[in-house]
């Protein structure tokens, strides 16, 4: 049986070391915990372990590590679950090190296992949780780290984690509303395009052969349709390549600073779309700022975090200008109102919260107000988009059918004469 060497801390905080026999590292950790110690490091040692390591190396010769060179990253849903479970364990009275150790022993097979184990080791070695999280920005965004740091400073880490869960659940819910609204239009669009491509590649050529045998002059719509079919059949790969190239070029252009600013400014002006973008951005602004202030994050730091997470460059610039004005001693509502991007309703409600001293309450009301506005904007968007897509598909399919029928009518009328 393999022998594991361990270094741990006792309940009194003293550093202890020793060896245990176990089938694997997980059982070794359990044995160390039963002794009343918090493991800091566990490594294999001894003859049995040497043989195990040798067998493991033989197996790894034929294994492909797809994650080599990649840093483990926690997905949003897994992050929500981790935060909820960690909050529950801390609320039950468990220490942070033991809570992370408990979560790391579950071995879910996901990337979070590696991240949790690393966090546990750093906490046991004396690091703060917020400092450990800040080293992994791909998994833990700035907002998350700041609220955890505020929770550590106030001694209410479990409460901060609970607030984080509520915040990200609402953000996820807002995203899912928009995604769900686009599912049906996307299905209609995909089916319509697929039908047209199938008709142009397989149906139109059959009619083209018949028309060529009869040798009659075809109507203009039919000639256009046949020309398009020939291009798609003979140069379809080139058309697909050009479309793919355009998509790549446009995406790269929109990732530049000027491209992002142009696109985000355009979003704020497009009919129907601007209502969704504004409602989502304002609700996110109010919810995030309110959550940060409620957890004790300073106003300037909170505004800086909101600026990085709001998702729209134009709105982020307005928040940056407001943060500069707040540094000069002004209130938040005044510079936001002067920018003409934030609506009067939002700035007025924010001003009332500043006057009454209940900023978090005012921001909570603003977030609910624009969450409702987002629901209405999404419903209007789907109500407008669905008939437009159906109409466009109907026009394209109708053009295809009418072009064929016109040629057939001309040929049959010529034959009857």
For 222-241, the pLDDT digits (tens) are 888 888 888 888 888 888 89
pTM score, whole prediction: 0.66
Return all residues near 178 (Cβ < 8 A) that are at least 6 apart.
276, 280, 378
Q: Residue 244: what pLDDT? A: 93
Domain 76-168 listed as CATH 1.20.81.30: yes
6-61 pLDDT, tens digit per residue, is 777 776 667 778 887 777 776 777 777 777 777 767 777 644 444 544 454 444 44
d(CA 281, CA 273): 12
Q: Which residue has the tokens 């109500």?
A: 383
Structure tokens at 369: 């107000």
Dihedral class, residue 126 (left if φ above 0, else alpha if ψ from -120 to 50, else beta): left
**What parts of the chain have a pLDDT lower than 50?**
46-50, 52-54, 56-69, 417
Contact 202, 400 (CB under 8 A): no
- In which residue ranges of the chain is CATH 1.20.81.30 found? 76-168, 173-417
320 burial via Cβ count (<10 Å: 0-12, 13-18, 19+):
middle
What are the strands of the beta sheet with 38-45, ordered from one edge?
15-21, 3-9, 38-45
Burial tier of 279 (Cβ tally within 10 Å: 0-12, 13-18, 19+): buried
User: What are the structure tokens assigned to 173, written together?
Assistant: 């819910």
Question: What is the four-CA torsion angle of 76, 80, 83, 85, rounded to 10 degrees?
Answer: -130
- Please name the helix (run of DSSP H) or strand (run of DSSP E) that holds residue 192, with its range, or none: helix 157-198
**In degrees rounded to 5, what are phi and psi of residue 42?**
-135, 120
Q: Tell me, which fold does domain 173-417 have in CATH?
A: Receptor-associated Protein (1.20.81)
pLDDT at 106: 73
Give dist(CA 237, CA 235) in Å, integer: 5
Strand, coil or helix: 19: strand
Convert the pLDDT of each residue in 18-27 to its tens digit: 887 777 776 7
Q: Is residue 3 classed exposed, middle or buried when 0-12, 13-18 and 19+ CB atoms within 10 A define those classes?
A: middle
Residue 257: per-residue pLDDT: 86
* Beta-bridge partner residues of 4: 20, 44
Distance CA(209)–CA(71), nearest Å, equals: 58
How do strand 15-21 and strand 38-45 relate by DSSP bridges? Answer: unpaired
CA distances from 158 to 40, 51, 89 (A): 23, 44, 8
Contact 363, 159 (CB under 8 A): no
Residues 70-92 have pLDDT tens digits of 566 777 788 888 888 888 888 88
Q: Where would I find the beta strands (DSSP E) of 33-146? A: 38-45
Strand bridging mode 15-21 / 3-9: antiparallel
């Amino acid at each position: 049986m393999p022998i594991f060497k361990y270094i741990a801390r006792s309940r009194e905080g003293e550093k202890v070391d020793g060896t245990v026999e176990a089938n694997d590292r997980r059982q070794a950790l359990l044995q160390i915990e039963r002794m009343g110690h918090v493991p800091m490091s566990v490594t294999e040692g001894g003859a049995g372990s040497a043989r195990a390591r040798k067998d493991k190396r033989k197996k790894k010769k034929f294994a492909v590590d797809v994650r080599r060179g990649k840093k483990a990253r926690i997905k949003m849903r897994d992050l929500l679950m981790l935060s909820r479970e960690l909050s529950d364990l801390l609320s039950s009275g468990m220490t942070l090190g033991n809570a992370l150790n408990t979560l790391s022993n579950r071995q879910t097979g996901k990337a979070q296992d590696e991240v949790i184990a690393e966090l546990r080791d750093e906490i046991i070695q004396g690091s703060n949780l917020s400092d450990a999280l800040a080293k992994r920005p791909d998994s833990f965004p700035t907002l998350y780290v700041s609220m955890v740091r505020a929770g550590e400073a106030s001694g209410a880490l479990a409460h901060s984690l609970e607030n984080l869960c509520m915040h990200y659940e609402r953000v996820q819910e807002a995203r899912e509303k928009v995604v769900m609204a686009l599912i049906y239009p996307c299905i209609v669009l995909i089916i319509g395009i697929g039908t047209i491509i199938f008709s142009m590649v397989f149906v139109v050529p059959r009619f083209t052969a018949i028309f060529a045998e009869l040798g009659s002059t075809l109507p203009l719509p039919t000639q256009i349709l046949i020309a398009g079919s020939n291009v798609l059949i003979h140069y379809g790969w080139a058309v697909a390549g050009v479309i793919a190239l355009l998509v790549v070029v446009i995406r790269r252009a929109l990732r530049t600073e000027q491209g992002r600013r142009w696109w985000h400014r355009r979003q704020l002006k497009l009919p129907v779309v601007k209502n969704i973008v504004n409602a989502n951005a304002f609700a996110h602004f109010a919810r995030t700022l309110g959550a940060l202030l409620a957890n004790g994050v300073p106003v300037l730091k909170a505004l800086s975090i909101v600026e990085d997470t709001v998702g729209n460059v134009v709105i982020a610039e307005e928040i940056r200008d407001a943060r500069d004005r707040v540094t000069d001693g002004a209130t938040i509502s005044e510079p936001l109102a002067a920018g003409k991007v934030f609506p009067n309703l939002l700035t007025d409600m924010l001003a009332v919260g500043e006057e009454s001293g209940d900023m978090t309450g005012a921001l909570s009301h603003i977030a609910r107000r624009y969450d409702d506005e987002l629901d209405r904007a999404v419903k209007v968007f789907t109500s407008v988009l669905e008939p437009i897509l159906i109409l466009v598909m109907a026009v394209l399919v109708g053009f295809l059918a009418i072009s064929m029928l016109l040629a057939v009518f001309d040929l049959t009328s010529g034959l009857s004469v």
